[in-house]
Copies of this chain bind each other. A is one copy, B any other.
Amino acid sequence: MKKSALQKARAAYQPKLPIVLTGAVKAEAGHATNSVADQEAIKNLFPNTYGLPELKFEKSSTPTPSKPVNVGVILSGGQAPGGHNVICGLFDGIKKVHRDSKLYGFLMGPGGFVNHDYMELTAEFIKDYRNTGGFDIIGSGRTKLETKEQFDKGLEILRELNISALVIIGGDDSNTNAAVLAEYYKSINAGVQVLGCPKTIDGDLKNDVIETSFGFDTATKVYSELIGNIQRDCNSAKKYWHFIKLMGRSASHIALECALQCQPNVCIISEEVEEKNMSLQDVVNYIADIVAARAAKGMNFGSVLIPEGLIEFIPAVKRLIAELNDLLAEKAEEFATVDAADQRDWIIDNLSEANAKVYKSLPPRVARQLSLDRDPHGNVQVSLIETEKLLSEMVGKRLEEMREEGSYNGKYASLHHFFGYEGRCSDPSNFDADYCYALGFNAACLIRAGVTGYMSSVRNLTKPSVQWVAGGIPITMMMNMERRNGEMKPVIQKALVRLDGAPFQKFAAQRDEWAVNTCYIYPGPIQFFGPAEICDQPTLTLKYEHQGK
């Protein structure tokens, strides 16, 4: 690997550990826990790992003797900055337990565990990955660990390598699977601990006890750099509206954090759209009104942030998609015989009146995408819809109506951007470098504490990292029952943006001013070597959530 100058310099960075983890620790157990909902059901499904206590590590004055431990690690799902540091922290942690401990990485995600593709991670090998972005150290994958066959197959390689603990670095689904695996291994007395680490740039894996998932900090800083640059361009040329779609799956945390960082003219929050039962046209009108208000002040330019998941949160569109899926499945044969030129009319004739109306309101290109581009299960591929173009096109139409009504008299030209892959593998910010290293190191402490079914937890994150609090949270505590593919399943509750939460409230209190004035902030690129107020700040989401407590 030919390294960039920055990579070489960053290799020397020593992530800051919470002070408590720098010496010998003992695990202090809190009260027994309950799941956030559906307690009876969850308890029945996790008889061996339900109700465990929260753990908090405290300094211990009496180091206990230790023996080597072999540990396996899996990177699961989409990349997030800092994953390499979780592995480095875990490695250093188990080496501190005993220098003969070994770390094995399963390759290309959970598939490597099931298929016995692995490598030993040595000090020499991992040194090139310290404080770097990406998951390329062992690769990642989206295989779901769900079946007994997979668990048993995986157990074979764990036995072969004498691995007694498995750490799964993943999002809500992967950690759910970690809990199921922990329960299973416990139930058969396999002698293997299973632990999780909270990963996702989307920021939707958090709750009262997990303050944030790793990667959210860095990814939102990269997107904010780009949004700030675009806004500065926008405010220099003064002739374009920039529509910027941002990754984040269902939740709007990324869009919200970027809005707090950059103060755009518009930021749509999907959760609010759903709560207010807004139609697509309502969203369009909201934006068009702001375009018109700025035009009236002579400003024919602006910025609009759009969360990736928006379209699915618009109740009317959600209903249309549901009916379309059913319709195209039920009448697949008939639809196949319809001429391309007549498909639009056929769909309109076959939809209920309400959904036909929504369908007709969509630009033809988008409507076409909805009926033609379907996934292997025959479902409409909502993620293919270029919401940023859809909205800007509909806003343009609405402005023409307003021009005829006399309520708009400006120029409107739009440009489009979608940011996602640009931020998932960035070099981790100092925050994520420290947080991830601590999560991994802390996982080693949980292994030493002998527990299973826990998620590595590092808290107090708005304080300097030496003051962070470390421990473990029983994964079952975060679970409830949800319908998945027609079946009720135990899953970790996904954290959407709370409209009563401090981050959204801060945004809502200022957005009207940001809309009509130009209050852009230009955060610039992530810095690693400068003063702390530039290099060591957590997200505003985290700051406001803590202030709100």
Asked if B79 contacts A233 (CB within 8 A), the reply is: yes
Chain B residues lying within 8 Å of A415, measured Cβ to Cβ, are 421
Asked if B4 contacts A427 (CB within 8 A), the reply is: no
Q: How far does the Cβ of A528 sit from chain B's closest Cβ, in whole Å? A: 6
Asked if A417 contacts B427 (CB within 8 A), the reply is: no
Residues of A contacting B: mostly: loop
Q: How far is the CA of A2 from the CA of B233 in the complex (A)?
A: 17
Chain B residues lying within 8 Å of A425, measured Cβ to Cβ, are 229-230, 232-233, 236
Q: Mark A421-465, 1 if CB is under 8 A from B, else 0.
A: 111111100000000000000000000000000000000000000
Asked if A424 contacts B9 (CB within 8 A), the reply is: no
A176 at the interface (CB under 8 A from B): no
A200 at the interface (CB under 8 A from B): no
Of A22-30, A371-379, A403-411, A515-523, the one touching chain B? A515-523
Asked if B427 contacts A524 (CB within 8 A), the reply is: yes
Q: How far does the Cβ of A32 sit from chain B's closest Cβ, in whole Å? A: 39
Minimum CB distance partner of A231 in chain B: B425
Q: How far does the Cβ of A240 sit from chain B's closest Cβ, in whole Å? A: 8
Q: How far does the Cβ of A109 sit from chain B's closest Cβ, in whole Å? A: 9
Asked if B2 contacts A519 (CB within 8 A), the reply is: yes
Asked if B134 contacts A233 (CB within 8 A), the reply is: yes
Contact of A230 among B236, B263, B341, B421 (CB under 8 A): B421
Asked if A229 contacts B534 (CB within 8 A), the reply is: no
Asked if B134 contacts A235 (CB within 8 A), the reply is: yes
Q: With A525-B525, A526-B525, A534-B9 as given contacts, are A133 and B229 in contact (CB-CB < 8 Å)?
A: yes
Q: On chain A, which size bracket covers the interface?
A: 35 or more
Q: How far does the Cβ of A102 sit from chain B's closest Cβ, in whole Å? A: 23
Asked if B524 contacts A421 (CB within 8 A), the reply is: no
Of A38-46, A49-57, A220-228, the one touching chain B? A220-228
Asked if B534 contacts A236 (CB within 8 A), the reply is: no
Q: Mark A524-537, 1 if CB is under 8 A from B, else 0.
A: 11111111011001
Q: How far does the Cβ of A276 sit from chain B's closest Cβ, in whole Å? A: 29
Minimum CB distance partner of A108 in chain B: B238
Asked if A427 contacts B525 (CB within 8 A), the reply is: yes
The CB with the most chain B CB atoms within 10 A, among A7, A226, A233, A533, is that of A233
Asked if A522 contacts B4 (CB within 8 A), the reply is: yes
Asked if B524 contacts A4 (CB within 8 A), the reply is: yes
Q: How far is the CA of A213 from the CA of B135 in the complex (A)?
A: 37
Asked if B522 contacts A7 (CB within 8 A), the reply is: yes
A509 at the interface (CB under 8 A from B): no
A242 at the interface (CB under 8 A from B): yes
Pull 18 A–B residue pairs with CB atoms less than 8 Å apart, ordered by A: A4-B521, A5-B534, A5-B537, A78-B237, A79-B233, A132-B522, A134-B236, A140-B237, A226-B422, A229-B421, A229-B424, A230-B422, A233-B424, A236-B425, A426-B525, A525-B526, A528-B530, A529-B529
Assuming A222-B229, A226-B422, what are 19 further A-B pairs, CB within 8 angstroms?
A: A3-B521, A4-B522, A4-B523, A6-B527, A7-B522, A9-B530, A79-B236, A79-B237, A108-B238, A134-B233, A134-B236, A134-B522, A136-B232, A139-B238, A140-B237, A233-B424, A233-B425, A529-B529, A529-B534
